[in-house]
Amino acid sequence: MSMGGAIATMIDTVTGTHATFLSGPVMTANLNINYRRPIPLGSTVLLESSLEKKEGRKTFITCRVTSTDGSKLHTETSALFLSITASHLLGG
Ligand SMILES: CCCCCCCC(=O)SCCNC(=O)CCNC(=O)[C@H](O)C(C)(C)COP(=O)(O)OP(=O)(O)OC[C@H]1O[C@@H](n2cnc3c(N)ncnc32)[C@H](O)[C@@H]1OP(=O)(O)O
């Protein structure tokens, strides 16, 4: 079975890339993952990332991890990304 942290990395990467595409530079503020069914090691899965809403600096994204045919739901996630400036990245 795949580890929860590895699954979270996959989800953070996909939703973070999606949020960056929509909103420019962002950081993950919140990642809320419900693990519904285990992911067998070595299996191929589908990640579907959707924009829920944008409110000012906040970009809310949802993400489902399913089997490739969509029949098995592995995880459901809601994520919040906050737009940041270059100075935030430098610790300012
Ligand atoms: C491959 C490409 C991937 C790209 C994406 C990569 C994403 C990452 O993994 S980044 C690494 C992990 N994330 C981090 O280390 C982030 C650490 N946290 C931070 O730096 C800051 O807390 C940060 C930037 C998220 C927010 O700080 P800051 O910009 O000062 O915002 P702040 O003023 O506290 O809050 C702004 C608003 O967001 C809300 N907010 C902030 N954090 C949260 C949170 N965790 N949950 C809910 N709401 C939040 C605040 O309530 C506030 O709301 P409102 O304006 O309505 O009052």
Q: Tell how far the Cα of 86 is from the centroid of ligand 1, in angstroms.
A: 14
Which two structure tokens, joined as six digits, stand for 30? 């919140």
Residue 84 near ligand 1, beta carbon < 6 Å: yes
Number of Cβ atoms within 10 Å of the Cβ of 26: 23
CATH code for the domain of 11: 3.10.129.10
**Residue-number span of the structural domain to which 8 is assigned:** 4-89
67 lines ligand 1 (CB under 6 A): no
Residue 92: predicted pLDDT: 63
User: Is the shortest distance between the CB of 17 and ligand 1 below 6 Å?
Assistant: yes
**Model confidence over 47-59: pLDDT tens digits?**
999 999 999 999 9
Which tokens belong to 65? 């991890």
Q: How far apart are CA 65 and CA 51, in angstroms?
A: 15
> Count of domains in the chain?
1
Q: What Cα–Cα distance (Å) separates residue 2 from each residue in 8, 17, 34, 49?
A: 10, 22, 14, 20
Taking only the tens place, the pLDDT of each residue in 28-87 is 999 999 999 999 999 999 999 999 999 999 999 999 999 999 999 999 999 999 999 877
